[in-house]
Chains A and B, each alone.
Chain A
Amino acid sequence: MADPMRIRATEKDGEIDVKVLMKHDMESGQRKDAAGAIIPAWHITNLVATVNGKQVFAAQFGPAISKDPFLNFKFKGAAKGDEVIVSWEDTKGDKRTDKGKIS
């Protein structure tokens, strides 16, 4: 199973700042192994963030997003104590969902 994300969500003046770190190799499909064979692409494709059942952010990633991806976005309409739920899915169909409480 995929490793957990780190989600930091902080509220200031009604705005929620969300920083997400994901553990993923984001293999580009451009690299070669020691034997010279192309290492196939394997990367996160989709990410969705929701709060209280409402989608607040979504992303589609290509192989050019860096290994162990970092994402920072901001939204309004939630309060301290609410939880930001982030889910991703990769090219192999692996999925991961984690929560971060807004502080």
Chain B
Amino acid sequence: MNSKRRKVLQFTALVSFMAGSGLLSEADAAEWNKAAFAAKSMDDVMKALGGGLPEKSDAVTLKAPDIAENGAVVPVGITTTLKATNMAILIEKNPYMLAGYFDLPDGTEPFVTTRVKMGQTSNVYALVKADGKWFSAFKEIKVTLGGCGG
């Protein structure tokens, strides 16, 4: 395990050299959607993302705990039975609602899990885009104060 990892590390160095020298062109990413990430309301987020307002759907599942031990790291997962091309996570009471936006090309499972920051207890929305339309599910996640508090 040890030597295997060392090989990975060496390889990592090689790859980063390649990236630095422009040998890795496939890493080109889409433009960051500044308007969507600067939006403070659901309307504005959806306007920037395109595709209209989401419709609530039982086909969308938001996997997250009811209570977060710490708001700095809240695990959030989205799955769906729809044929998803995109997913997004929105947090109602954060300063900016959109936390993350995901592209799922053909062959990629309709599934994503990540971790988000929450400033306070809030509704969290899982959005799924399929056939050009947005669908959603939500739940409230309670953010607790923890530890000695100092």
Q: Taking beta carbons and an 8 Å cutoff, which residues of A are in contact with B?
A: 1, 4, 15, 26, 28, 30, 45-48, 50, 53-67, 69-77, 85, 87, 89, 95-101
Q: In the docked arrangement, what's the CA distance between A26 and B115, Å?
A: 12
Which B residues lie within 8 Å of A15 (CB)? 109
Ranked 3 nearest A-B pairs via Cβ = A87-B27, A46-B29, A97-B19
Q: Is the CB–CB distance between B18 and A97 below 8 Å?
A: yes
Which B residues lie within 8 Å of A59 (CB)? 100-103, 112, 114
Answer whether A70 and B115 are a contact pair too, CB < 8 Å, given A62-B37, A65-B100.
yes
Quick one: which of A45, A74, A97 contacts B32, CB cutoff 8 A? Answer: A45
Nearest Cβ on chain A to B134's Cβ, whole angstroms:
16
Which A residues lie within 8 Å of B16 (CB)? 1, 4, 96-98
Q: Is the CB–CB distance between A46 and B99 below 8 Å?
A: no
Interface residues on B, range: 35 or more
Which B residues lie within 8 Å of A58 (CB)? 29-30, 102-103, 105
Q: Is the CB–CB distance between B105 and A64 below 8 Å?
A: no
Pull 13 A–B residue pairs with CB atoms less than 8 Å apart, ordered by A. A48-B27, A57-B105, A58-B29, A60-B33, A62-B37, A64-B94, A64-B96, A66-B73, A67-B73, A69-B115, A71-B114, A74-B111, A87-B29
Quick one: which of A45, A56, A73, A85 contacts B15, CB cutoff 8 A? Answer: A85
Nearest Cβ on chain B to A47's Cβ, whole angstroms:
7
Q: Is the CB–CB distance between B117 and A28 below 8 Å?
A: yes
Q: Does B67 contact A (CB under 8 A)?
A: no
Q: Does B145 contact A (CB under 8 A)?
A: no
Report the nearest B residue to A72, measured CB to CB.
B113
Q: In the docked arrangement, what's the CA distance between A25 and B42, Å?
A: 27
Q: Is the CB–CB distance between B33 and A56 below 8 Å?
A: no
